[in-house]
Amino acid sequence: MAKISLKDINKVYGDKFHAIRDLTFHIEDGEFMVFVGPSGCGKSTALRMIAGLEKITSGELRIGDEIVNDVDPKDRDIAMVFQSYALYPHKTVRENIAFPLQMAGIPRDERARRVTNAARVLELTDHLDRKPGQLSGGQRQRVAMGRAIVRQPKAFLMDEPLSNLDAKLRVQMRAEIASLQRRLGVTTIYVTHDQVEAMTMGDRVAVLKAGVLQQVDTPQILYARPRNIFVAAFIGSPSMNLYEATLDGELLVLGEQTLKVPSSVFAARPAIRESANRPVIVGIRPEDIDDASVTTKPEFEEIDAPVSLVEALGAETMVHLKIDAPWVDAGDPDAVAEIGDEHTAVGRFSPATSVRPGDTARLAISADSLHFFDPETRVSLW
């Protein structure tokens, strides 16, 4: 186990494409760190640089106390699980798991013991003599995990290891990997584009966009105090609704409608006082919007909005709303394009709601949970 430190790490491909810019942070010993971001944000490149599979253009990478910029992957003592699992198809499960031990020169008896233990932990004991081609996707994923844990390395690197599994298995494996990591206590870096995976698995989550680190924090802080509108929109599902608005004293002017901002918000975010009478970007999470006629929220502000779509999910109802204010693009290239030209806000209504498409809903907005951002820098106002 080891601490991993990145200091001013850059990756430039052929003098042109700057894939990673000045990446600096530390991963503590035993910590589960998740790199998350949209496609092309550089998260896999960062992981591969830590693995030694990509050369670092500039900066300093330390594993433990050692600078490893020029150390070969085999000498870094880290294990990696690939998106495609990269199992060796000509070897049995037993041989696949034993291979790193064989390369490390571990004696045969010890190899057998460790493979048996890993197989028991991963429930692969009955499949040890099968070839990867005879296994299901979930079992292959476990073999890839087995190959990583059997070595007891300084760190695990995982590059979207669940993306090839179906949704149900992904949820199951997500919990298993997180629990295994806690049990083994090995420093882990996990790459995903799925923010739910990131939030549920990581001790801390690093959000990247276009090769630049946006924020690295615990899932709770990322959700509650996103540093900028990209993080605000990327973390949370459905995404935070972002609109241009104006602060007029204690009133937030959103299109033709107004909401009273509670004094507790001004107390918590002194910076927004300086934005009084100036444009701001306001962020409202879907869970802070409900149907005013049925809501159980203790305090709320009310505005009206036409309903364009209702998705009843049983425990909750997603309602798409047309809010009369300029919509703000958070800059997520993977964001699903809106149907038609209109951008709609999403509210997470209680299932008791009876709103229908075409209705004008009276919305209950938790004004004390509003987020505010500077429209020029797009940074959160605190």
Mask: binding to another protein, 80-119, rule CB under 8 A, as x and -?
Answer: x-xxx-xxxxx--------xx--xx---------------
Tell me the closest approach of the beta carbon of residue 90 to another protein, in angstroms. Answer: 5
Residues 6+ apart with CB under 8 A from 113: none
SS3 15: coil
Phi, psi of 246 (to 5 degrees): -135, 140
C-alpha 21/C-alpha 380 separation (Å) is 22
- Give one DSSP letter per residue of 265-332, joined into a string: HHHH-GGGGGGTTSEEEEEE-GGGEEETTT---SS-EEEEEEEEEEEE-SS-EEEEE--SS-B-----
What are the structure tokens assigned to 373, written together? 């951002």
Tell me the closest approach of the beta carbon of residue 99 to another protein, in angstroms. Answer: 5
Tell me the closest approach of the beta carbon of residue 371 to another protein, in angstroms. Answer: 40
327 DSSP β-pair partners: 243
Q: Choose among 326, 43, 79, 325: nearest CA to 202.
A: 43
Tell me the closest approach of the beta carbon of residue 132 to another protein, in angstroms. Answer: 11
R_g of the chain, CA atoms, integer Å? 24
- Residue choice 9, 79, 233, 361 for contact with another protein (CB under 8 A): 79
Q: Which stretch binds another protein (CB under 8 A): 72-80, 187-195, 217-225, 365-373?
A: 72-80
Nearer to another protein, 90 or 260 (CB): 90
Query: Which residue carries 């975010």 as its tokens?
Result: 269
Nearer to another protein, 83 or 246 (CB): 83
| CB contact at 8 A, 382 and 334 | no
- Give one DSSP letter per residue of 170-191, joined into a string: HHHHHHHHHHHHHHHT-EEEEE
Tell me the closest approach of the beta carbon of residue 349 to another protein, in angstroms. Answer: 44
Tell me the closest approach of the beta carbon of residue 188 to another protein, in angstroms. Answer: 14
Nearer to another protein, 1 or 318 (CB): 1
Tell me the closest approach of the beta carbon of residue 59 to another protein, in angstroms. Answer: 21
Residues 323 to 382 in contact with another protein, rule: CB under 8 A: none
C-alpha 358/C-alpha 64 separation (Å) is 60
Residues 11 to 70 in contact with another protein, rule: CB under 8 A: 51-53
Nearer to another protein, 91 or 348 (CB): 91
User: What residue spans of the chain are helical by DSSP H?
Assistant: 43-51, 93-103, 108-121, 137-149, 167-184, 195-201, 219-224, 229-234, 263-268
Q: Which stretch binds another protein (CB under 8 A): 19-27, 75-83, 169-177, 203-211?
A: 75-83
Nearer to another protein, 104 or 224 (CB): 104
147 touches another protein by CB under 8 A: yes
Size of the site for another protein (CB under 8 A): 24
Tell me the closest approach of the beta carbon of residue 131 to another protein, in angstroms. Answer: 12
C-alpha 277/C-alpha 247 separation (Å) is 5
- Residue choice 73, 255, 262, 326 for contact with another protein (CB under 8 A): 73
Residues 156 to 175 in contact with another protein, rule: CB under 8 A: 157
Chain residues binding another protein by CB under 8 A are 51-53, 72-74, 78-80, 82-84, 86-90, 99-100, 103-104, 147, 151, 157
